Amino acid sequence: MSSTENWIAVGSVSDISPDTGTLRVMVEGEAVCLYKLDDTVHATQDRCTHGQASLAEGYIEDGLIECPLHQGCFDIRTGAAVTAPCKEPIRVYPVKVEGDTIYVEANP
């Protein structure tokens, strides 16, 4: 592990809601949304780039997270804004899982 890596334990895979597939956590003061997509955990910034909505309250469909406020969608794997009104991408965080513990790289 290089000295620039900064893996932070943020929760457990079992904490991710089986209903929504999401979990909102804080990483160094930033709200981050964890997703369980198939059997892989992903992480993005939690705040929609269009407004102030929490993506953890949105809906996952076909690898996209749909914002609960105006239904704009982002690609969970890449952070790309896929549908209007979202234009700016969301930040994506590297994730690793050891046992049941999820780690997010805060300074990728």
Q: Give yes or no for residue 85 binding ligand FES (CB under 6 A).
A: yes
Q: Give yes or no for residue 33 binding ligand FES (CB under 6 A).
A: no
User: What span, in angstroms and rounded, lies between the C-alpha atoms of 20 and 17?
Assistant: 5
Q: Please give the backbone phi and psi of residue 14, each rounded to the nearest 5 degrees, phi first.
A: -70, -10
Q: Give yes or no for residue 37 binding ligand FES (CB under 6 A).
A: no
User: What span, in angstroms and rounded, lies between the C-alpha atoms of 7 and 105?
Assistant: 4
User: What span, in angstroms and rounded, lies between the C-alpha atoms of 41 and 67?
Assistant: 19
Q: Which of 53, 60, 80, 106 binds ligand FES (CB under 6 A)?
A: 53
Q: Which of 56, 67, 76, 90 binds ligand FES (CB under 6 A)?
A: 67
Q: Which of 24, 50, 77, 91 binds ligand FES (CB under 6 A)?
A: 50
